[in-house]
Chain A
């Protein structure tokens, strides 16, 4: 009967070894055990995308992943997007374009945007919209977010 487990994870380049209840999800683990509160918990059933982060290099919903499932994993959260993901320009463009208001969706929106850009996708508004369709934003109407992503791609292409 395993109700708690010890896990070792690397988050934004730092190693942590922690005991966790096995029913604790990865978002709650980051927020309550590690104090990394930039990852937001929205719907807790995988629909809103607010809790999206990088798990072993690819995006994942941290509300649908148990902390114990992440044992041994490399995790990157919004706290590491500038340093680990070199996404300062994207973050600056989110700011410049007013691509956030309340900021609740932003961590997940950035994760999804970074993945889109890293995969070498084009500054094509329709493709961007399709890619971020799994992330809800209730403030911006999305246009500013699409602007920020496309601007970042165009700037990086020079």
Chain B
């Protein structure tokens, strides 16, 4: 299928993007890498009046190392994350996850801002942001605001980013040497959307964040699981069993491949594997 009819704009500055977004009559949709948006348009699930291609906005490019954080421009593509020594050094969880994000040809085009802005429940990066307690810099005509990842993802394709706002940066705390990270996902084919997956980050004080994806209407933290696991430097089989029982706090949602019960089972499998692989 082909995309429906639309108009196309390619602004070169954030302020030009914002003035397009502010014009309600244009019915704008931002186009970053297009690796999710184009299929949605080809399926006629999305039918925007105007596509605003932000790939020419240089302010949205680049990865910057700051004192305590890493700032990633919204237009940074997955392949740039894969090749970045800043990411390799300071965001090891991203490096664990990237080989599982779709396939090379998709990673060459897809962007971090696109993945965060779409909030696909089965995408990896929203869960990475939750596990790392990152935040999202959102810009509108009223100025710049920071939204914590914990309150950013609202539901299927729903975020705290308003229609007249633009995601400009993703901000992640730098990893400490005492931190440990875990990741695992199960997919029908390598690179496909996960049937269930989990990202885990444990701080030096042994507090832990556990974020699942592909199991509910959005990437979510499992707070009861976190409470059980926090404070433990290693994870015994009994503790893992308790943590698996605690995933019942999640409202599992089935899809065409798996029932809610199957999702819960897979979530428990990925949780165990991720905990055992923490490094």
Which residues does A use to contact B, with CB under 8 Å? 1-3, 5, 22-23, 25, 28, 44-46, 49, 52, 55, 58-61, 63-66, 68-69, 111-112, 115, 130-131, 133-134
> A44-B42, A46-B38, A63-B38 given as contacts; is B3 within 8 A of A25 (CB)?
yes
The answer to whether B43 and A112 touch across the interface, beta carbons within 8 angstroms, is no
- Closest Cβ of chain A to B111, distance in Å, is 13
Q: How many A-B residue pairs have CB under 8 A?
A: 90
Q: Flag whether B104 is at the interface (Cβ < 8 A).
A: yes
| Chain A: CB-nearest residue to B43 | A45
Tell me the chain B residues, 1-22 only, with Cβ under 8 Å from chain A.
1-10
Q: Which residues of B contact A63 (CB under 8 A)?
A: 38, 42
The answer to whether B109 and A64 touch across the interface, beta carbons within 8 angstroms, is yes
| Chain B: CB-nearest residue to A116 | B104
The answer to whether A52 and B7 touch across the interface, beta carbons within 8 angstroms, is no
> A46-B35, A46-B39, A69-B55 given as contacts; is B5 within 8 A of A134 (CB)?
no
Per the bound structure, the CA–CA distance linking A22 and B48 in Å amounts to 13
Q: Which residues of B contact A58 (CB under 8 A)?
A: 79, 105, 108
Per the bound structure, the CA–CA distance linking A59 and B102 in Å amounts to 13
Q: Flag whether B160 is at the interface (Cβ < 8 A).
A: no
The answer to whether B108 and A45 touch across the interface, beta carbons within 8 angstroms, is no
Per the bound structure, the CA–CA distance linking A61 and B191 in Å amounts to 15
Q: Which residues of B contact A130 (CB under 8 A)?
A: 190
Most buried by A among B8, B39, B43, B191: B8
Most buried by A among B6, B104, B105, B108: B105
| Chain B: CB-nearest residue to A69 | B53
The answer to whether B8 and A59 touch across the interface, beta carbons within 8 angstroms, is no
- Interface size class of chain B, counting residues whose CB lies under 8 Å from the partner chain: 20 to 34
| Chain A: CB-nearest residue to B39 | A45
Q: Which residues of B contact A68 (CB under 8 A)?
A: 8, 10, 53
Q: Which residues of B contact A5 (CB under 8 A)?
A: 8
| Interface flags, B79-118, vs A, CB<8A=1, else 0 | 1000000000000000000000011111011000000000
Per DSSP, chain B at the interface is: loop
Complex A-B: 17 CB contacts under 8 Å: A3-B5, A22-B8, A23-B5, A44-B2, A45-B42, A45-B43, A49-B105, A55-B108, A58-B79, A58-B105, A58-B108, A61-B109, A63-B38, A64-B109, A68-B53, A69-B55, A111-B105
| Chain B: CB-nearest residue to A1 | B7
Per the bound structure, the CA–CA distance linking A1 and B79 in Å amounts to 33
The answer to whether B39 and A2 touch across the interface, beta carbons within 8 angstroms, is no
Per the bound structure, the CA–CA distance linking A104 and B37 in Å amounts to 25
The answer to whether B8 and A65 touch across the interface, beta carbons within 8 angstroms, is no
| Chain A: CB-nearest residue to B109 | A60
Most buried by A among B3, B31, B55, B108: B108
Most buried by B among A25, A55, A58, A69: A69
The answer to whether A66 and B103 touch across the interface, beta carbons within 8 angstroms, is no
> A23-B3, A45-B42, A64-B38 given as contacts; is B8 within 8 A of A2 (CB)?
yes
Per the bound structure, the CA–CA distance linking A61 and B108 in Å amounts to 9
The answer to whether A133 and B191 touch across the interface, beta carbons within 8 angstroms, is yes
The answer to whether B2 and A61 touch across the interface, beta carbons within 8 angstroms, is no
Per the bound structure, the CA–CA distance linking A139 and B135 in Å amounts to 46
Per the bound structure, the CA–CA distance linking A45 and B102 in Å amounts to 13
Seed contacts A58-B108, A69-B53; 10 additional CB < 8 Å A-B pairs: A2-B7, A5-B8, A22-B7, A25-B2, A25-B3, A44-B39, A46-B35, A52-B105, A59-B104, A68-B10
